Structure 1
Amino acid sequence: MSLLLTSASNASAQLKLNKKAIGAVDKGVKAATFSDADAAKLAGEAIAYMDTHNEVAAADDPYMVRLTKLFSKHQNEGGLKLNFKVYKVKDINAFACADGSVRVFSSLMDIMTDEELLGIIGHEIGHVANKDTRDAIRDAYKTAALTDAAASQSGAVNSLSESQLGGFCTALLGTKFSRKQESEADDYSYNFMKQHGYNVTALASAFNKFAEMEKEAGDNRSKSEKMLSSHPESADRAAKVLEKAKKDGLAKL
């Protein structure tokens, strides 16, 4: 799961999860035995849990109507089978999971133009395409110490119980991608925008909006925002996008 940006300092987090820690013991899941199918299975369970515990916009809700209009033609992007929903929460965020689920928060949609939103979700799709979300699922499964089955000789990944899912989602949300992974996801988004004829500089303007929010928040950023400090600075990301756009002759006002 990739979290792009949490809410501004004065906005209380609304995404609902079971915060009870289950424990941090490595149960022996090895990267070599953790497949894409395993990651998709666990991601699907986590998404189902979060869809149940948060307000999801209905098909005729203006937020969902807008998102459907933007992304209905991208449901098989890059060979990935994607599904999109909107969480009506105060957090300013979006994330994607290894099963192809993309969740966009309504407060993010409130502050972004259509093409800026396309760029942000393109970044999230990049984390799925680059296998970052698969590795995040594996690490969260290990960190949360969810089931003894993980330590079995077969290395089988079992379905999670209702009580385990809360801890798993908490561990998953705590996963941090490296700066390299974030930069590669930015590159994926840029190429996604370019391939489909969107304005690539909209990705830069989205990052600049985040930069302004970071500047306003200053030292008052929430714990969850500081947790995501592995992201490259938003202003630097915007500058990199604009530099590429100029080289490609795609820079626009």
Structure 2
Amino acid sequence: MKKYAGYMIDLDGTIYRGKEKIPAAKRFIENLQAKNIPFLFVTNNSTQAPEKVVANLAKNFDIHVTVDNVFTSALATADYIADLDNEKRTAYVIGELGLKQAILDQGFKFEETTPDHVVVGLDYDVTYHKFELATLAIKRGATFIGTNADTNLPNERGLVPGAGSVIALVECATQQKAQYVGKPETIIMEKALKRLGLAKDQVAMVGDNYMTDIQAGINFGIDTILVYTGVSTKEQVAKKAIKPTVELDSLDQWEV
């Protein structure tokens, strides 16, 4: 069993299932903490600030971490556009507070008419007017960035539209594809690895979803640990040409 110096870890389906606790996940995190092994929760959720993620983990799952352990697609997107061009510092953003705050924290100013970048993520109050502003700005030459391609999100009512569905409308209106940041793209992985300060061969990506978590690790060239507590099934993964490095029924099976 290989020992890793650091871990990137998915949240929903891996650390918890919706509002349901996964006891093995809590033990896994506590083992990492006890051994001072660095880890980042790498999540495609762009709506919440890290403080909200930390509060949710503590209140609902008795898992106690800091904001330094959380890396959202919003943070990755903000890091990405900050690195594109130091002279281009304006953005128009469709998204929730988590995304807007991450971009503001990188020193960007919001601009509706002629922004350098248009960033689109999940927005629970999206309107035609917001789509209109985004479309016109992209047509004028703004860089078009999407936080993540997830078309749907599971909640207690079923599968509801995700960020990918919102972004797809802008893609249709502009006839232009967004540059996606979140899993399974490598951008979020690159930015997460930079925050961990480790090399690729020192880390593993832990997740429950082959199509996002594991594919992101494979695309980025790092080891992957698939735990069967969420989305993907053994039958589905058996059909994949590239298998995860490790497959587990429970995180209790993994020794950090």
Asked if TM exceeds 0.5, the reply is no
Q: TM-score, normalised by structure 2?
A: 0.29
- Highest RCO, 1 vs 2 (Cα 8 Å, sep ≥ 6): 1
